A and B are shown apart, each in its own frame.
Chain A
Amino acid sequence: MGVRMIPQGTNLYAFLEGEIDHHSAVFLRTSIDEALVQSCPRELVLDFSGVTFMDSSGIGLIMGRYRAASAQDCRVRVMNVKERDLRLMKMSGLEKIVEFGVCV
């Protein structure tokens, strides 16, 4: 599991890779939050195209990043989520607070 953080213009992209669970979420959270503070973007884009598995920790990860981003006036967009994981995300009402997109 890993994440590549790429700032581009006023956006900050987080390309997530591998499996997201409670164990891997700790590392992901730290990496994303550090980059968030460093680059102060207008929008944080979480790209899920490389994610091969996620449980509800993935939802917690998005919720937590939404809180961290909001605190510095930054929006959150979630991209390229697989159909099945989207079903999981919608259980939580996430679509009410973050924007979902298909492709950058």
Chain B
Amino acid sequence: MKKGYNELKMTVDAKSVNESFCRAAVGAFIAQLDPTVEELSDIKTAVSEAVTNCIVHAYAEQDGKIYIQVRITDGVYTEIKIRDTGCGISDIAKARQPLFTTLGGDRSGLGFTVMESFCDVLRVRSKPGQGTTVVIEKRIFGKR
């Protein structure tokens, strides 16, 4: 067994009622690293943004699955992968621009901006018609 390594995998339906469950579950898993309140809340916010994107954009409020994988390495690094098999993003650079949104209404267009500023690294891979994978990395310094 690798020391300092731990992994969580879960699949949830792309329903808005699951947004709070997803961020709470990832937060509960990360809690073993003894994160500060701020670090925990940064991660929960980033997860909430990514999961909301799957529901609102990838599946456009239709049925679908969200695949979440969390990896802890060396006892301090977290890597959170959030994947969907929805519509995909044709122009990732544009989608990542602050305030850009394809939806209007009450969407702020800040999802990716928030993920970027609350985490160390944000990677987005996507193919139109096939889906999107968002990878968030954050080192947890914790209360030590």
A91, B99: Cα distance in complex, Å:
9
A63, B45: Cα distance in complex, Å:
19
Check B117 against A22 for contact (C-beta < 8 Å): no
Check A56 against B49 for contact (C-beta < 8 Å): yes
- In the complex, residue of chain A having the shortest beta-carbon distance to the beta carbon of B45: A55
- In the complex, residue of chain A having the shortest beta-carbon distance to the beta carbon of B114: A56
Describe A's contact surface by its main secondary structure: helix
Which range contains the number of A residues in contact with the other chain? 20 to 34
A92, B45: Cα distance in complex, Å:
16
* Chain B contacts for A60, CB-based, 8 A: 105-108
**Among residues 107 to 128 in chain B, which have CB atoms less than 8 Å away from a CB atom of chain A?**
107-108, 110-111, 113-114, 117
Check A59 against B16 for contact (C-beta < 8 Å): no
A77, B64: Cα distance in complex, Å:
38
* Chain B contacts for A55, CB-based, 8 A: 45, 48-49, 52, 114
Beyond the given pairs A55-B52, A91-B110, 10 more chain A to chain B contacts, judged by CB atoms under 8 angstroms and listed by A's residue number, are A21-B19, A22-B55, A23-B17, A53-B41, A56-B49, A61-B106, A64-B105, A84-B38, A91-B113, A92-B108
Check B108 against A22 for contact (C-beta < 8 Å): no
In the complex, whether A57 has a CB less than 8 A from a CB of chain B is yes
Describe B's contact surface by its main secondary structure: helix
* Chain A contacts for B52, CB-based, 8 A: 21-22, 55, 57
Which listed residue, A19, A26, A91, touches B114 by the CB 8 Å rule? Answer: A91
Which range contains the number of B residues in contact with the other chain? 20 to 34
In the complex, whether A29 has a CB less than 8 A from a CB of chain B is yes
A48, B119: Cα distance in complex, Å:
24
- In the complex, residue of chain B having the shortest beta-carbon distance to the beta carbon of A24: B20
Smallest Cβ distance from B72 to chain A, in angstroms? 22
Smallest Cβ distance from B103 to chain A, in angstroms? 10
* Chain B contacts for A59, CB-based, 8 A: 108, 110
* Chain A contacts for B99, CB-based, 8 A: 92
* Chain A contacts for B23, CB-based, 8 A: 53
